[in-house]
Amino acid sequence: MEAQGPEHSSARLERFLQLCDDEATYVPGTEPGAPVDETVDQIMTRQLFEINWIVCNPTTPANLFHLLRRQILMPFRKPLIMWVQEEHRNQGAFHYIRDRIALALGIPLEDVKYGGRPASAAPATGSKIIHKNEHDNMMATAMKID
């Protein structure tokens, strides 16, 4: 929704994510045929080399600085794609990224929590009041510590 209010739809980030050339079912460096003596840095570099772009969410100026710095220091360049889910549950990247979060944290898929707008057939509510309530609830859930 790009913070534009109840009349605007999303940029459809899930389309970018669905086109990523990656696999959510294994940790890089553990796939069959992977070199057994690779360091973590070598595994991460190989993973970055094999994917077709990077989807990221730099939330502070420091995050953006380090993101751009990494681009410059890598021996190759990859396109970058600024993500935070503001869309409804069934319209954004949650279902794509959920598997990867569970794998990275080593937790069951059902333990990955969602803190955004509920599922909806429409990309925007069309009502300023409903939009504000959804946004306020989303932010309260996202900021809750547990």
Give the chain as a 3 state SS string. Answer: CCCCCCCCCCCCHHHHHHCCCCCCCCCCCCCCCCCCCCCHHHHHHHHHHHCCCECCCCCCHHHHHHHHHHHHHCCCCCCECCCCCCCECCCCCHHHHHHHHHHHHCCCHHHCCCCCECCCCCCCCCCHHHHHHHHHHHHHHHHCCC
Residue 137 pLDDT greater than 80, yes or no:
yes
pLDDT digits (tens, 9 = 90+) for 25-75: 776 667 777 777 888 888 778 777 777 787 777 777 888 888 889 888 888
- Say which residue, 7 or 106, is predicted with more confidence: 106
* Mean local confidence (pLDDT), 107-117: 84
Phi, psi of 88 (to 5 degrees): -70, 160
d(CA 102, CA 111): 8
pLDDT at 144: 74
pTM (2 d.p.): 0.49
What does the mean pLDDT of the chain come to? 77
pLDDT at 20: 76
Cβ atoms of 30 and 111 closer than 8 Å: no
Q: How far is CA 3 from CA 9, 21, 63, 86, 139, in A?
A: 10, 29, 20, 8, 13
pLDDT of residue 126: 81
Confidence of residue 100 (pLDDT cuts 50, 70, 90): confident
Please check the confidence at residue 18 and state whether its pLDDT lies above 60. yes
Whether residue 12 has pLDDT greater than 70? no
Residue 115 banded pLDDT, cuts 50, 70, 90? confident
Residues forming beta bridges with residue 117, ordered by sequence position: 88
Q: What pLDDT, on a 0 to 100 scale, did the predictor assign at position 108?
A: 92
**Residue holding tokens 């794609």?**
81
